[in-house]
Amino acid sequence: MKKFIKSFFYSDNKVQPVYFWITILMILIIITFTGRILDYFDISDTLFLGLLGFVAAWIGLYNLNSKNKGMK
């Protein structure tokens, strides 16, 4: 269990705070999506898709940057 939790914060034994923030944002998006389905929240589709796009772009840019640093 400790290795599973550690994987959210570390990569190659280095702290990666990006993983922590992406995990937090994805949890909030899941809560928002569930609340929207159950009519707890009145959130627009545009905002929800914007949040998903932001997280996806952040993951993509972070991984692209990590990949490019490793190639040098």
How do 10-11 and 14-15 pair as beta strands? antiparallel
CA-wise closest residue to 54 among 17, 22, 11: 22
Q: What is the pLDDT of residue 18?
A: 79
Confidence of residue 20 (pLDDT cuts 50, 70, 90): confident
Unique residue bearing structure tokens 């996806």: 56
Unique residue bearing structure tokens 């959210």: 8
* Rg, C-alpha atoms of the chain: 15
Q: What is the pLDDT of residue 72?
A: 46
Question: Residue 66, Cα to own-chain centre: how many angstroms?
Answer: 16
Sequence-distant (6+) residues with CB within 8 A of 62 are 18
More confident residue, 5 or 47: 47
Q: What is the pLDDT of residue 12?
A: 72
